[in-house]
Structure 1
Amino acid sequence: MSLRLYFKPSSFRGALHDLDEDGQVTFKGNAKAFVRTYSFLAALLPYTTAAWEKLSIFLNFLIPKLPAPKEEDLSRGILETIDMDSYRAEKKAVVKIQLADADAELEPVPVGAAGGKPEPELERLSNIVKAFNDQFGNINWADADRVHRLITEELPPLVAADAAYQNALKNSDKQNARIESDKALGRVLVKMMKTHSDVFKQYSDNMGFQRWMQDTVFDLTYRDEEKR
C-alpha cells in the first residue's frame, strides 16, 4: 500500500490497525526502504522535494515505534520437560567437591595487566579488505588495491569531517548519526566521481555494495568517535 496514505497522523492510527500482521510487516519494510532511498537521493540531488522531506522525517520518528511481529513462545513446555531428579543429583555432586574447612594458602595476585588484548588496527582493516574481496572481488575493478585504500584510508576521515555528521555525533543518537553518515558518504563520493568512477558506479547501481560501504564507513567513523 502507498506510504502516502499513512502520512496524515489523523488517518495513520486507524489504517495501521486495519492491517493484518503481514500487512504491517510489509508497511514497515516499505517505510525503511523509503527512508534509505531518500537519504541517498537527498545527498546527490541539487534540490529536495518538500513532501518527501516531511515524509522522511515523519517515518524516521515512526519506524522505531512500529510494533514488531508477534513470535511464538518457544519456551512453552520447557519447565515440564526438566528432569528434576537429575538436577538434584548434580547439585549433590557439587557439594562433595567443595573445599574442606581448613587453613590454606592463596597464590599472590598477578601484578600484570588484566583483560584481553584489543584487536589491532591493522587487523581490523585487513578484515575489511578480506570482506571486500570475498563479496566484491569478482567485480572488474580498475585497481582493486586503490579501492581498498579509498575505503579504509581516504573515505572515513572525509566522512568524519562532515559538519552535519559531526553535529549528529555530538548532539543526537546513533540512528540519526547513521543517517547523516550515509548522506555524508554520498556527498563525498559525488566529489570523487571523476577520479573513482568505478566505485561511484557500483555504489549507485549495486545496492549490496552500497549497503556494505555505508556499514563499513559508519563502523569506522562511529567507533573512532566512541574512543574519544
Structure 2
Amino acid sequence: MNSHTEAAFETAIEYYLTGKDTYRKTDPAQFDRERCLDPAVVLEFIKKTQAKEWEYLKNIQKDRAETTLLEDLAKALNSEHEGCLSVLRHGFKSFGKLFRVAYFRPASGLNPETLRLYNENILTITRQLRYSPKHENSIDVVLGLNGLPLATLELKNPMTGQTWQDAQAQYRNDRDPNDLIFQFKKRTLVHFAVDTDEACMTTQLAGRSTVFLPFNRGDNDGAGNPANPGGYKTAYLWEEVLQRDSFLDIIARFVHIQTEEKKLGNRIIKRESVIFPRYHQLNAVRKSIRDAEENGVGQNYLIQHSAGSGKSNTIAWIAHRLV
C-alpha cells in the first residue's frame, strides 16, 4: 500500500485505536441505515450490563424484544426533547424500564460495580461507513459508543494534493445535513476535517454555511501543530483526545447544549448549539485540574487564550470540575 494515501492515514488511526487503545473495529455492513445505529453493538452492551431489565422486556415482548428496544431507542434519539446527548447521559425507556446506553467513570473508585459498568463500554471505529438508505455516500471514519455514532472524520493527505480544507469542502458540499447521522442533536456530536498536519472541527453541518473551528495544538504561539518525530503532526487527535478514557470524559463532562435567546420584534428566538471543547480548552482544563490535585489549593495560574477562543467555556469547565 502507498503510505501517502488517505487509506494509509485511516489505517494508522485504526491501528492505534484498536491496538494501543481499546476500540473495536466494526463491519460497516452491520450498520442499520434506517435507525442510524449499530444494532449488534447496542444489544450486546445492554444485554451484558442490564440483564434484569433485558429479561423483563424479553418476557413481555418475546420475539419482538430486540426490535422493540431498538425502536424505542431510535425514538428517544430522534426526539426534540431528548436527543443523543440526553440519551447517553440519562438513558431511555422501553415498556416502563430505564435502559442505559453508556456508563461514565464515577467520581471516585469506591464503588466497584460502577467501575465495572464503565469498563463495559464498547467504543468502535468503522471505516468507509455508508450511512443512509437514500444513497451510497460513505464517511472515512466514524467513532461510536455502544452502537451509537458520535464522531465523524473526513481524512485527507497533502501528499495526494488534498488538505483539511478539502475535507471541509466535502462536509459543506457533499454531506447532506438532513441525513439522520448529521441531524442536529440526534446522532453524531462532532465532525473533524483532518489531514496529516492540521485539524479542525464543527458540531453542526449547515451546507455551505457550515462553520469550522481550528482543533490544533498551536506551534510556538502560532497556528498549526509542532513537528512530531514519532508520526503525523495530528496524531494527538486520536492518541490523546479520542483515546478511550478521554473521549468518554469529554462526552460525560464537557459536551453540552448551549441555548441563546434573541428578541426579534415581539418574538423570542432560541438558537441551540452543541459545544465540544477545542484542543486548547481541553488542555487548559485538564492541566489546571491536574496541578490543583497535585499541589493543592491556593495556587495562581495564568491561562492564555486569544480573543474569541472560548475563555468563558474554559472557565466554566474548570469551575465545574473543581466543584
TM-score normalised by L of structure 1 = 0.31
Which is richer in strand?
2
The structure, 1 or 2, with the larger RCO (C-alpha pairs under 8 Å, 6+ apart) is 1
Which is richer in helix?
1
> Whose Rg is larger?
1
